[in-house]
Structures are given as structure tokens and as C-alpha cells.
Structure 1
Amino acid sequence: MGLSSQNPVQTQHPSEDVPDQVRAGEPTVWFNPFRLPTSQAFEAVELQVVEVEAAADRWRRFAPLLACLFPDVRETEGRIDSPLLPLSNELSERVTGDLSDTVLVKADHALPLTGTIKARGGVYEVLVYAEELALREGLIGQGIGYDALSSEEAKSLFSQHTLLVGSTGNLGFSVGVIGRALGFKVEVHMSSDAKAWKKARLRDIGAKVIEHDADYSMAVAGARASASKRGACHFIDDENSRLLFFGYSAAALDLAFQIRSAGIEVSETSPVAVFLPCGVGGAPGGVAFGLKAIFGDAVQCIFVEPIASPCMLVQLATGIERAVSVYEFGLDNETAADGLAVPQASMLVARSIQPLVDAVATVSDHSLFSWVGALWEEAGIRLEPSAASGFAAVAPYLRGLKMRGARLPTTCIAWTTGGSKLPSDEFEKVLAQART
């Protein structure tokens, strides 16, 4: 279905504004008062559903190139996706508080190339930029396949260009992996939250790392400023990029295929709830947009944020007329979930998903470590703290639905976002924290 901006999203402030629990740094579930029936929601936002399938088509065109560049996706013929894993009945009951039947894990912590959901956006945008340059120079098209972008001629072209991005770690790595494989120069501006090992692995693949003694928003600003001073470059703007958004959105088609292949019913009488870790918002926003386009009101999309960094919650709750930050509400943006340590949400995403997202849940760092430990010990799932956030949000969300007399989902899906490439010594530190 196409979209239009003729009916703008509702912008007045909801009566509850930002809940007191959020201001106090306490875990909470905020049910979105701006949510509309899906058919109305897509008429109220600017982005177009047709772009989801367009992104999926582009991923298919690039598959031969990815298979050529990366051995770990050759068996899948260049397709980047992750498995949909079941949890044991016992663990599912713990996750849901025994309020839902099934818990599944969309395992992007094990995504090929990067071990993080950011590959879906970061890799995609770099590929689009490479496509533009190659088409301009006649390196692809007219019977020349996209695997030609791995040639020395293509690498010579790309080596004249620089990719710039601001990151807490995972997006930068995704851009670095594909960028360096194609021959681009890569400059990653990293926030004070970024882990030392994430900086080291970027340097190891030949990326230039610029360290900022400031938060994520300032790292993005630094990358933006650096890009403005040079030619032959492409700035990947995590706060405003439609390419990132739709690169992520194509993942909804993959999940929909897996759900149907598993014989899971998805209907308004048997809804599915999907829990999406949220930083600046691009990944969960794109995925939610795609899922709502496919399943409509039969899917519930819940964003999950740390109690210190609920940037999307405060943005949606206060309205979308102006950008707000968590600092305005007395919060410090200090969290062990470095991938979610973002003080200000993407306004592009906030405006695009305001009528679509069902709820935003905030969770404590303690709960993240607890679930990292439980999932490793009982299911062998290796996560970094931010990737465990969805599990911490399931039971509070279901309890909130029950209190409101709303229909409970029959299936809950926690989307994991990183962890399989966590170095062993770093993972041991996380597990030690989980045991305290």
C-alpha cells in the first residue's frame, strides 16, 4: 500500500505526558496513546510501505556480491538472516510470567558478518552507495552482475571515497566490515559509551576510529561535521537515514516467512508481540514499520529501552513537534547497555512510528545482566546486555495488558541485537556481573 502525508500524525501531548516512573528511573511500560489502527496509521505518515519490498529486492540483487565477499554467507547464497529459535517451556514461562503460550527468539545476535542487527541497516546503506557509484561509472548494469563490485576496478573506485558514521559500536562495525571489504576508507566517530574492544576490532579491519569524550549524539555530530568538510564521501546518518530505516524494515519479511513456516497463527484474535531493543530508533522503527505493513493490527510492536536512556519513550510521550532528550527529564543516559545509550531519538523514526508502536517498556541494567546469565546457562544464547532487553520487558508488558483488560498475545518474540562476536574475556565479565 502506498502512503501519503495528507493526514498528519496526531501531535498534541498525551494527557499523561512522561510518566513519573520514567523521570524517577524506574522500570515501566508506557502504552502509546497515539497508536492508530494500522490502516489509518499508514495514511498518517510520510514513509511508504512500497519501500519495504524495494529494499528486499535490493538485498536480493546484492546477494551474489555478499556471497563473493564473505565466506560465512556462501551457503545461503549471500542472504543475511538469522534463525527463529524456540525457548524451552520452562524458560518461556519465566520470560512471560506464565501469561503467554510461546516465546521465540529472533536471533540477530548471531546474524552473519557482524553478529548484530546493525548489519541489516549499515551494510544496506553502504551497498546502496556503492551501487550509485558503480552505476555512474558503468561498472554494473547491461548484463554485468553485482558481483562485479568485488573486482579490482571497483575497489579502485571505492578507495577514492570515505564512509563516515557516528556509533556506540555496532553500527560502526557493520559499516566498517562491508566498507573495508569493498575498498572504501572508513571513519567511525565513537561515543564515550563505546567499549574498547569495539574500537579495537574496527582498527583491526583498517577503519579509522575517532574517539569522543561525549555521548552518542555528539559522536554523530562529529561525523556529520567531518563529512561536511570533505568531498568524495558519504555520511551514514543514524539519526535521519531512510536507507538505514528501510534496510532494517526488510527483516520483517524474513520474520514473516519464518512465522508462517512454523505454522504460527497470526490474527487479531491470536496476536504476536515483538519486543525490539531501541537506541536511536532506526532498527526497531524499520522492523516495526515492516511488521505492521505485513500483519497489521495482528502484531504488537514493543520498543525496549534502558531506564537511564528512554529517548524514544520521552519523545513519543511529549509529542513530535520538537526533539527532546532524556537529560531534560533528569536522567543521565548511563547504562551498561552501550548499544542503547542514546539521549535523543531519531525524529525521522519518531514521526514515522508514532501511530504504529504499541508500547515502550523501560528496563533496569540489573534485569539485563540477569537475563544474559539465564539465557546463556539455560539456552546457550550468547548476548551482550542491550540484546537481552526484550526478555526483561515481556512479563511487565503482559501484566500491563492484563490490567487493561486487553487481549494477550499467544506468541512473544524477543529480537536479539548483538553478542555472538563478544570476545570471550568480555563475555566472562558480563557473566560475572550477572552472578552478582
Structure 2
Amino acid sequence: MNRSEIDSALRTLDKHQGQFLRTTPLWKLSGASLGLACAEVWLKLEHLQVGGSFKARGMLNRLLANPIPDAGVVIASGGNAGIATAAAAQALGVRCEVFVPTVSPETKRARLRDLGADVVVTGAVYAEAFEACMARQKATGALLTHAYDQVEVLAGAGTLAAEIEAQGGLPDSVLVSVGGGGLIGGIAGWFEQRSRVVALEPERAPTLHSARQAGEPVDVAVGGIAADSLGAKRIGQLGWEVTQRQVRDSLLLSDEAIVAAQRWLWKELRLAVEPGAALGLAALQTGVYQPRADEKVALILCGGNVDPAGLG
């Protein structure tokens, strides 16, 4: 994954900007206003994207880059990638089938059905839903859209980084939540160490952290508050390769810290985001990531498919 592939995705997606995709806001706040010891915090409000997450970029790019058979598209997802694929499929007028694990929230399943997708609930975790999805794809010949491990998907995610740079210039650092590695693969592929990209994971879903300890991608047990969006069993091969080259730091957050940051965003800023989107703020609030006093830190609020009633 590199800037030329992301530039290609930018050109592919450009004609759908405003028709399907949204240019999401970049909100620049002083660190002091958030009680943080850094110069600025940039909040990229990607939870306002079509489908409620950054996934819309990669899924649309995948669909536009490939011929779509009569059987349509099929995907396994904890929720957000499926929602993005269903929204893109609806916009393009093609069929969509989504396999979700039982851990996926009913709010996300309802959204999938509202978008016209056929929803199959199977398996306790994403990996089991993915196995069922692959069997279905072989039987029907539908176009497989992977939640995080296809070049078009990473390149689409990388357009988010390009948008941050176009809106605000280069931040000093970008804190990125990691599940299967699609988002951080695209982000790191665009910035290419011009900004420091930091990988953040829940302690109970440490796919990248565990891979680094083992020296290669390995299966991990996943659970916890962010398992629906960050619950990949293994880091994707593409994300692994990019992060090995471009990402130095891999840090872990507790569920308690993630929930506290999620609720803080709602209480103080009225931003309703998923637990998986709150890791960046959690890292700053807990000191797991300690920025310099003059640092400009970008946080990607990557998903908003959450019921605000549960935020307290």
C-alpha cells in the first residue's frame, strides 16, 4: 500500500464525492480545552460518513474497481464494513448479502436490513462468520468484499488520510484504532512516516500487538467492549505488511479507559461514537500515549453506529 494506490482511489471515488461519499469535518481544538498537555487535537469526524464509518470509502472503491456479477456482493462483518458495503451496493443497484457474528449489535443488523441487505447471523465471532461467508461466495460466485484485507479497501481507507492533509496539513501524529488493519494500513500508506502513525488496540483484541510479539500474524482470542468493530481474530496480511514498514508504536487500552473516553466525547462534545472510535482519546487521557507539549495530534473518530441512549 502506497500513495500512488491511494491517489488512484481518490480519482475513482472523486465522482461520488457529494453523491455518495461525504467530506467529513476536521475539528481542530486546543489540547488545553480538552484537558490535555499538547498543542492541538484534531478530531476527524468520520463517524459522520455514509454508513456511519470510514468503511464506506474502501467498500465503494472495491465495488467500483471490479465487475459485479448477478449474484451481487457478499461480505462478513462485525457490522460497519457490512453497512458500508450495503450502502454502496444500494447506491449502485446491486444485491448484497452480509454475514455477521452473534456479537454484532442489533442496531447494526437493523441498519443493514434498512439498506436492503440480506443479513445472515452466524458464528460467535467475526472469523466464524467469515468462514460461512466464504462458503456462500463459492456457491454463488458473488463478489467478495473483505472487511479489511483487500488492496482496494486499504486504498479507500487511505483517502481519509489524504483528506486530513488537504483540510489541515500534516499533523505531528495520528492515533489509529486497529482491528483487522485496514484503516491503519491506508492511513500509514498515505502518510509514509511524514506524520507519526500510532496503532491502538483494546487489551482484549490485540491482533497487531500479538503479531509483533510473535513476529508474524497469529490468531488471538477477541472480546471486550469494542469486539464488534475491532474484533478481528488475526491482523490482515496487507495491514501487517504496511505497519511493519511504517508504524513504530503499538499500544493497548483497557475496556475501562475506552468506555470512559467514549462517554466523555458524548458528555462534553456531544459526539456519539462507538467504543472502537474512542481509543485515540483514551490513549491521551490515560497517558498510554504521551504527546510533546507542542504536538498536533489527529484522532480519527472512525465509527458512529451506536445508540446514544447507552452513553449515559
Q: What TM-score comes out, normalization by structure 2 length?
A: 0.92
Preserved CA contact (<8 Å) 1:304 1:362:
yes
Matched, 1:252 2:161: yes
Report the Cα offset of residue 49 of structure 1.
3.2
Q: 1:172-194 CA distances to partner (integer Å, 9 max, x unpaired)?
A: 00000110232211110101221
Preserved CA contact (<8 Å) 1:248 1:287:
yes
The equivalences for 1:407-426 within 5 A come to 410-419=295-304, 421-422=305-306, 426=307
Q: Which residue of 1 aligns with 2:110?
A: 200
Q: 1:283-312 CA distances to partner (integer Å, 9 max, x unpaired)?
A: 1211121122xxx3x411011111100101
Q: 1:106-149 CA distances to partner (integer Å, 9 max, x unpaired)?
A: 110112x21211112122212223xx45xxxxxxxxxxxxxxxx
The one-letter amino acid of 1:310's match is P
Report the Cα offset of residue 411 of structure 1.
0.5
Preserved CA contact (<8 Å) 2:158 2:187:
yes
Q: Which residue of 2 aligns with 1:60?
A: 14
Q: Which residue of 2 aligns with 1:381?
A: 271
**Highest Rg: 1 or 2?**
1
The one-letter amino acid of 1:255's match is I
Matched, 1:283 2:193: no
Q: Which residue of 1 aligns with 2:46?
A: 108
The equivalences for 1:9-408 within 5 A come to 47-63=1-17, 67=19, 70=20, 80-87=22-29, 89-93=31-35, 96=36, 98=37, 100-111=38-49, 113-129=50-66, 132=67, 160-231=70-141, 233-260=142-169, 266=170, 272-292=172-192, 296=193, 298-320=194-216, 323-327=217-221, 333-337=222-226, 338-394=228-284, 396-399=287-290
Secondary structure of 2:179's partner?
coil
Secondary structure of 2:273's partner?
coil
Secondary structure of 1:355's partner?
helix
Report the Cα offset of residue 389 of structure 1.
1.0
Preserved CA contact (<8 Å) 2:185 2:238:
no
Q: Distance in 2 between matches of 1:123 and 1:189?
A: 18
Q: Which residue of 2 aligns with 1:40?
A: none
Which residues of structure 2 form unaligned runs of 5+? none
The verdict on how the C-alpha distance between 1:48 and 1:291 changes in structure 2, with shifts beyond 3 A counting, is closer
Q: What TM-score comes out, normalization by structure 1 length?
A: 0.67
Q: 1:80-127 CA distances to partner (integer Å, 9 max, x unpaired)?
A: 32111123554433xx4x2x211110110112x212111121222122
Preserved CA contact (<8 Å) 2:205 2:231:
yes
Report the Cα offset of residue 397 of structure 1.
4.3
Which residues of structure 1 form unaligned runs of 5+? 1-46, 71-78, 134-157, 261-265, 328-332, 402-406
Q: What percentage of residue pairs aligned between the two structures are identical?
A: 25
Q: Distance in 1 between matches of 2:146 and 2:31?
A: 41
Secondary structure of 1:326's partner?
coil
CA RMSD between the two structures: 2.1
Q: 1:318-350 CA distances to partner (integer Å, 9 max, x unpaired)?
A: 213xx31223xxxxx111112112221102210
Report the Cα offset of residue 239 of structure 1.
4.8
The one-letter amino acid of 1:83's match is P
Q: How many residues get paired?
A: 310
The one-letter amino acid of 1:276's match is V
Q: Distance in 1 between matches of 2:247 and 2:189?
A: 9
